Amino acid sequence: MMVVSSFEAAMRRLTLATTTLALLLSLVSIYALQYLPEDPLKLRRNLAIYCGFVVFVSGLGLYGAITRNGSYINLFASHLLLDSLLCLIPRLVVLHFTTSLPSMTCSAPGLAHPSLREASAYRITSNSLVEKVIRRHGWSESSYCVAGTWVLEVFCLIVGFFLMAMQLWVALRMRRYAQWLDRKEDLDRKPKEIC
């Protein structure tokens, strides 16, 4: 019977939970992507390919966690590290977009953001339900709207960077576990080579 240390048990549970979560989220994402409309940039196809790659790497990580294989766990942890850094770029793009959120949502409907003013698809008529609600509650003139959108933006920013930091932390812990498994395997193999 194999003796399992508390470090190994905790790290194995963390690895099993993380790989299972990544595997399930990727499978759900692949299923949900089929309902997105086709676009000229082929984002749906590219995201589906990436999610398929994540399913493959997560499956290897899950197999490595079950069999205590440091190489597969290290592969999955490296993917998590790279993914957290690469996802920083879309987060910054979304952050740049959300800085215009207060001017888009809190201005008068006729004086909305210039890109919305020019786009006929987003033009708000005087009889629209949105304008009636805005007029009734006075949101377009109040500073509460601007303050609320900034609070929402800061909250989303904090949550996004917190999730990125957690992903980095989990990936580094899993890499440490994979290195520990590799060292343990090397130590177990050395006495057999001497005999």
Q: Is 101 part of a structural domain of the chain?
A: yes
CA 113 to chain centre: 29
Write the pLDDT tens digit of every residue in 116-161.
Answer: 444 444 444 445 555 665 566 555 555 667 777 788 888 888 888 8
Q: Is 53 part of a structural domain of the chain?
A: yes
Q: Is 103 part of a structural domain of the chain?
A: yes
Q: What angle is formed at CA 60 by the lines to CA 14 and CA 174, rounded to 5 degrees?
A: 30
pLDDT band of residue 40 (cuts 50, 70, 90) is confident
Mean pLDDT of the chain: 79
The set of residues, in sequence order, having a beta carbon less than 8 Å from that of 27 and lying 6+ positions away, is 51, 55
> What is residue 93's predicted lDDT score, i.e. its pLDDT?
78
- Domain assignment of residue 145, given as a range: 6-194
Q: Is 96 part of a structural domain of the chain?
A: yes
| 74-94 mean pLDDT | 86
What is the reported pTM? 0.69
Q: Is 132 part of a structural domain of the chain?
A: yes
Cα–Cα separations (whole angstroms), residue 138 to 101, 106, 122, 141, 145: 18, 10, 21, 6, 9
| The total number of structural domains that make up the chain | 1
Q: Of the ranges 86-95, 105-114, 156-165, which is most confident? A: 156-165
pLDDT at 103 over 60: yes
Q: Is 1 part of a structural domain of the chain?
A: no
